[in-house]
Amino acid sequence: MAKDRLAEVLEEWEAVIGLEIHTELTATNTKMFCGCPVEFGGEPNTRVCPVCLGLPGALPVPNEVAIELTVLAGLATECEIAPRSQFHRKQYFYPDMPKDYQISQYDLPFCQGGHIDVEMGEGDDSYTAHVGITRIHLEEDTGKMVHVGGAEGRLAGATHSLVDFNRAGTPLIELVTEPDIRTPEVARRFARKLRTTWLTLGISDCNMEEGSLRVDANVSVRRRGETELGTKAEVKNMNSFKALHDALAFEIVRQVEEIERGGRVVQETRHWDAGAKRTSALRSKEEAHDYRYFPEPDMAPFEFSQEYVECVREKLPELPDAKKARFATDYALPSHDATVLANDIEMAAFFEEAVAAAGVERSKLVSNWMLGELSALLNAEGIAVGESRVTPAMIAEIVELVEGGTISSKQAKEVFAEMAESGDAPGAIVELQGMKQVSDTGELETIVERILEANPDEVARYREGKKGLMGFFVGQVMKETRGQANPQVVNDLLARKLEG
Ligand SMILES: [Zn+2]
């Protein structure tokens, strides 16, 4: 679907988006209510016990570390930590959940009423999107169904289904936002920033492909100026930030077109098909009362003392907003640079390492390379900075080579492309390709004089006032030196000779 179509639709219509983000607390090592290990994969049904298999009579014992990590997540997102909270049973039947209920939280979640601010746009167009966080609650994950004999991962056409309970009982936090999000891009940036926050806290590996971070979205549309909410659809199965963005863009346009055609939006769960780039209806959406929540009778309610909450608060590391402020102050970075770097945990670490090598006075130059060539490379290859051949030391070295006048900025781009490809150090590439920039005034002076002698007409016209000819002379010197002359030195020399 064309991006323009979304922009067109959003002129008259407004999208209302809320996100539900499930994160497995992989840092706990053990499951939520038993001692089975939390790990991805493994032989099916090898990490199970009577508790996580839901055998009759087995009693749940809450995982203290998981509760602390949930409180930490709440504090990191400016939530209030409830003085009194408890677990509820959420009843529903599904084969990957043998108890026929999931231990979750209902009206007394651990964390409520937080927010995350998302920086949007650049320069004069920049603004902050305030996204409220309704709640963060803790629950147990379900097992996993594997449908075999049919199309991969889909029930349709499968001849039989298998169930693996290794994941059952993994501690899972669900964060629910207020319906404050208005565009797919805000949703994408919010999810990215949240992931960076979780990674900074170290509560989860946040691997979207393995499902430890799962983002679902509630989407509705209304005409601009209206205040009532439209009927929402829930979109699932988006396992990358790009998928989240694209699925929302598709769904917004679909709903608007449905209404404009005289139809109506149905409350339902829709599945994002990344291959076909469309959402399709999966099932009608359950209401909260369908689940018949009631307090979990096998566990007492929780009461958190202020002392306990403060004790957890002391464990908070430097979060993205604080990091952004520090980058702006300590490295004198413009707001945009500081935001982009601080909101990506890997980029932030890479930046600080490169600056440590290049010198703090070259921070902006390092940032330019990272937000420019390096980001373009990562986007093009669809990889994270840690997977690239480019290291912080290489960026520091390339900045030094340009600053020291060894190579021109134009040559530096060639060196960058080469080092990204081969993994060789910039200095070695410059050496090997004989790329060194000529800054030697004596050597360049001879060339400049020769060129001026060979072009007497141009020299005369320049002296009569055709100053634009400077570009012609610089070009001649560059041609003569195969692009290796230091442009600054050439400009200075030419100016002196022509004016003199
Ligand atoms: Zn277990």
The domain boundary residue, chosen from 432, 464, 491: 432
pLDDT at position 154 over 60: no
Q: How far is the CA of 49 from the centre of ligand 1 (A)?
A: 4
**Shared-domain flag, residues 340 and 458:** no
Question: Residue 1: its pLDDT value, please?
Answer: 52
Number of C-beta neighbours around residue 381 at 10 A: 11
pLDDT digits (tens, 9 = 90+) for 226-260: 999 999 999 998 989 999 999 999 999 999 999 99
Q: Which of 21, 16, 22 is nearest to 233 (CA)?
A: 16
pLDDT digits (tens, 9 = 90+) for 63-80: 999 999 999 999 999 999
Q: How far is the CA of 206 from the centre of ligand 1 (A)?
A: 22
**Shared-domain flag, residues 299 and 365:** no
Count structural domains, the chain.
Answer: 3
**Shared-domain flag, residues 161 and 141:** yes
Q: How far is the CA of 380 from the centre of ligand 1 (A)?
A: 43
Q: How far is the CA of 204 from the centre of ligand 1 (A)?
A: 19
**Shared-domain flag, residues 257 and 404:** no
Question: Residue 285: its pLDDT value, please?
Answer: 64
pLDDT at position 157 over 80: no
Q: How far is the CA of 31 from the centre of ligand 1 (A)?
A: 7
DSSP symbols for 172-210: EEEEEE-S-B-SHHHHHHHHHHHHHHHHHHTS----TTT
**Shared-domain flag, residues 291 and 362:** no
Q: Which of 402, 397, 412, 396 is nearest to 356 (CA)?
A: 396
The domain boundary residue, chosen from 377, 411, 432: 432
Provide CB contacts within 8 A for 477, sequence distance 6+: 444, 447, 448, 451, 485, 490, 494
**Shared-domain flag, residues 298 and 364:** no
pLDDT digits (tens, 9 = 90+) for 25-84: 999 989 999 999 998 878 999 999 999 999 999 999 999 999 999 999 999 999 999 999
Distance of alpha carbon 191 from alpha carbon 17, whole angstroms: 13
**Shared-domain flag, residues 199 and 70:** yes
The domain boundary residue, chosen from 273, 296, 313: 313
Question: Residue 378: its pLDDT value, please?
Answer: 93
Q: How far is the CA of 37 from the centre of ligand 1 (A)?
A: 8
Q: How far is the CA of 304 from the centre of ligand 1 (A)?
A: 26
Q: How far is the CA of 121 from the centre of ligand 1 (A)?
A: 47
The whole domain housing 446 covers 441-499
DSSP symbols for 371-432: IIIIHHHHHHHT--GGGSS--HHHHHHHHHHHHTTSS-HHHHHHHHHHHHHH---HHHHHHH
* Banded model confidence at residue 397, pLDDT cuts 50, 70, 90: very high
**Shared-domain flag, residues 155 and 298:** yes
Question: Residue 2: its pLDDT value, please?
Answer: 55
Q: How far is the CA of 442 from the centre of ligand 1 (A)?
A: 78
**Shared-domain flag, residues 362 and 413:** yes
Q: How far is the CA of 61 from the centre of ligand 1 (A)?
A: 10
Q: How far is the CA of 174 from the centre of ligand 1 (A)?
A: 21
125 or 317: which carries more pLDDT confidence?
317
**Shared-domain flag, residues 303 and 452:** no
Query: What length does the chain have?
Result: 500
Question: Residue 152: its pLDDT value, please?
Answer: 54
Q: How far is the CA of 147 from the centre of ligand 1 (A)?
A: 23
Q: How far is the CA of 398 from the centre of ligand 1 (A)?
A: 53
Q: How far is the CA of 292 from the centre of ligand 1 (A)?
A: 25
**Shared-domain flag, residues 87 and 235:** yes
Q: Which residues pair with 20 in a beta bridge?
A: 176, 216
Q: How far is the CA of 9 from the centre of ligand 1 (A)?
A: 49
Q: Between the CA of residue 251 and those of 180, 231, 248, what are the distances in Å?
A: 17, 13, 5
**Shared-domain flag, residues 460 and 421:** no
Q: How far is the CA of 69 from the centre of ligand 1 (A)?
A: 20
Question: Residue 98: its pLDDT value, please?
Answer: 85
Q: How far is the CA of 144 from the centre of ligand 1 (A)?
A: 15
